[in-house]
Amino acid sequence: MVVMDNALPRVCIILPVLNERDNIAPLLDAIDANLRANPYVVCIVDDGSNDGTRDYLEAVRDKQPERYHLIYRVKKGRGSQRGSALYISLLWGLTDERNDVFVEMDGDLSHRPEELQDGLRALKERGSDIVIASKYLPGSHVTNRPLGRRMVSRICNTAVRFLLTSRIRDYSNGYRFYNRRAAVAVARSKIRYGSPIYLTEVMGIWLRSGMKLSEIPTTYIGRNEGVSKLRIIDLAKAGMAIFEVALRRHITGFSTGPEPERVEATSKA
């Protein structure tokens, strides 16, 4: 029997998924194995899975309703809406004052649950508001990712570092740990991007707010990331969006959005 340590922060895992039936069970098992001593909750946003993911998640939720919160959406249009999934999960997590630490992960096992305690420890020991699992630190490893995709990621990341700040090495990895203060800063800002650009937009908010950020090494496991999935028009739109985020980060600032409690109902759509 594992005894919970009430002195440990309550962790809210934010997990967007889409057709991850083969990955979700081992992922949730690994999260539990690595957070068993911590109080934690998992908020999962399913964007319309049709491979049995939803049935599995409902069975898990019914067994442990206090541990798992499910949000269902219907994906509309082309492209990833990972950013909006992260945002509504964050808003839901803030409605429970017990949630002290937020962790964003992918649902496809590209982020290793074995690193959860590393991120939580870095938050506490370094006094950071945000800790990023960085692919570009010494000691980090990237596996099962095509060379072309690595090159695109490097080029895009270098451009973002030039426009926002070079102090952060990895803007694109979605494995992030942050405290409640950082979560509230995002919730109180007007978010413009529901695409993966959300990751850069949020980083701009944190930098503008003077948050303390740090990075830890990680092992990133690529999953179905062929360069053929990228379109020139998508890269062009992403480039324009990053320029816009940089403008707000350095000059105009980020507009205020609705208070967290006013958007609670939308997280249950």
CATH number of the domain bearing residue 240: 3.90.550.10
**Sheet (strand 68-72) strand order:** 68-72, 40-46, 10-17, 99-104, 176-179, 130-134, 213-217
| Cα–Cα distance, 90 to 31 (Å, whole number) | 18
| Cα–Cα distance, 149 to 222 (Å, whole number) | 10
Residue 30 lies in a domain: yes
* Predicted confidence (pLDDT) at residue 229 exceeds the cutoff of 80: no
Tens of pLDDT, residue by residue over 193-228, are 998 899 999 999 999 999 999 999 999 998 755 444
Q: What is the pLDDT of residue 259?
A: 57
The structure's pTM equals 0.89
Q: What is the pLDDT of residue 226?
A: 43
- Average pLDDT (135-154) is 89
Rounded percentage of the chain residues whose pLDDT exceeds 70: 87
Could you tell me if 269 and 73 are in contact, meaning their C-beta atoms sit under 8 angstroms apart? yes
Q: What is the pLDDT of residue 236?
A: 79
- Average pLDDT (244-252) is 97
Residue 5 lies in a domain: no
Grade residue 122 by pLDDT with cuts at 50, 70 and 90: very high
The total of structural domains in the chain comes to 1
* Predicted confidence (pLDDT) at residue 3 exceeds the cutoff of 70: no
Q: What domain range is 149 assigned to?
A: 10-262
Residue 267 lies in a domain: no
Residue 100 lies in a domain: yes
Q: Which pairs with CB-CB distance under 8 Å and at least 24 residues apart come from 246-255?
A: 246/163, 246/164, 246/204, 248/204, 248/208, 249/164, 249/204, 249/205, 249/207, 249/208, 253/208, 254/189, 254/190, 254/204, 254/205, 254/208, 255/189, 255/190
* Predicted confidence (pLDDT) at residue 264 exceeds the cutoff of 60: no
Residue 4 lies in a domain: no
Q: What is the pLDDT of residue 5?
A: 52
Residue 225 lies in a domain: yes
Could you tell me if 59 and 145 are in contact, meaning their C-beta atoms sit under 8 angstroms apart? no
- Mean residue pLDDT of the chain comes to 89
Residue 66 lies in a domain: yes
Q: First-to-last CA distance in the chain?
A: 36
* Predicted confidence (pLDDT) at residue 267 exceeds the cutoff of 50: no
Q: What is the pLDDT of residue 269?
A: 32
Q: What is the pLDDT of residue 265?
A: 34
Q: Which two tokens stand for residue 247?
A: 């403008």
Average the pLDDT over each of 34-43, 86-95, 143-152, 163-172 and give the range with the smallest value: 143-152
Handedness of CA 200, 205, 207, 208 (dihedral sign): positive
Residue 207 lies in a domain: yes
The larger pLDDT score, comparing residue 267 to residue 59, is at 59
Bridge partners (DSSP) of residue 179 are: 101
